[in-house]
Amino acid sequence: MSRHTFRGCCGGLALGFLALSPLNADQPIMNMMPRWDGGYGFQVRAEHVHRSDLKQGSDVVGRGLTEDLTQLHLEGVYTWDRSIRLTAKLPYVADARREVPDAGGQKVVQYDEGIGDLTLALPLKKYFNLDARSGSWTLAPQLRIPSGKEDDEFEVWDGVWGSGLSLGYETETYHWFIATSAGFWVFEQPEPAEWSYSLDLGWNVRDDMQILWESDLSWDDENKFFLSAGPALYWRWNDKTHIRIEWKHDFVSRVTSNRPDHGNGDRFSAGVGFVF
């Protein structure tokens, strides 16, 4: 795209950017533990996201205007009973950098760092135990609490209150694992309401190791639509220490047509969790 066209699409809109709310429906620890009474744990995940172009709708309006986010997620869980647990997720933006056009069409680099928004959830689970199979239904009310400071020209986290609800189903045999969930979030204005759906397929390649293929869909009131998928590896180091690595490729990334945005992007995450 020529600089002239680029100005036509984006000029004067730089101040209108909104961050994309990270939905992240996964729950500690590693989406599977603890299911025992009185169990608790915490995990730390490092996540890097690379977004290659600036988009508006499905169109690239700023090729090569990138966005890179590096975040640390500190997450904890306590299980009172196998049917009820409380989780907390607090992100820390270690380094965020995005390239956007200014009013004159020139590239401007913006930065962000600091604490993001806290997410609390109360997953209510109904487990079922069968011969050679186990699983659960999950209903999880969630609350987003604005916790970060709005002190940068670029804010990864929206800094608004939000409430969400998700419904999930998962089942596992000695060899296979499958999980699916759907949910929605409603935020304070001007953030749009968002919906999400995920489908995870896993193969228990060893007693202490699982390989997964995870797919995520999300869309919102402003016509955003993301589809990403990729492999994940879970490894139990010992009873207390658990490791998970995942990578997701951005297959479809349509942002709102109201303003330019960077879309979904490819995502790499590595985490270690401790459970007791």
Partner 1 sequence: MKQFLLFICALTSLAMTTQARNTDPEATPELRDQAAKVMLENRPNYLAVHTRGLVCSSCGIGLRIHTSKLDAVDKSQLTKGVDLDVEKQLVFVAFKPDAGIDVDGVREAIYNAGYDPVHYYLWTEVDGIRQTAYPVSEK
Q: Which among 66-74, 96-104, 141-149, 168-176 is the span making contact with partner 1, rule CB under 8 A?
A: 168-176
Contacts 24+ apart (CB under 8 A), 141-147: 141/165, 142/166, 142/183, 142/185, 143/119, 144/117, 144/118, 144/119, 144/185, 144/187, 145/117, 145/118, 145/119, 145/120, 146/117, 147/90, 147/115, 147/116, 147/117, 147/118
d(CA 166, CA 187): 15
Q: Which is nearer to partner 1, 2 or 238 (CB)?
A: 238
**What amino acid is encoded at 39 in this protein?**
G
Contact call for residue 241 and partner 1 (CB under 8 A): no
Q: Which among 6-14, 63-71, 85-93, 170-178 is the span making contact with partner 1, rule CB under 8 A?
A: 170-178
Site for partner 1 in 208-237 (CB under 8 A): 208, 217, 234, 236
Contact call for residue 63 and partner 1 (CB under 8 A): no
Q: Which among 20-28, 113-121, 204-212, 257-265 is the span making contact with partner 1, rule CB under 8 A?
A: 204-212
Contact call for residue 34 and partner 1 (CB under 8 A): yes
Enumerate binding residues for partner 1 (CB under 8 A).
Answer: 30, 32-39, 82, 127-134, 169, 171-180, 182, 197, 199, 204, 207-208, 217, 234, 236, 239, 242, 275-276
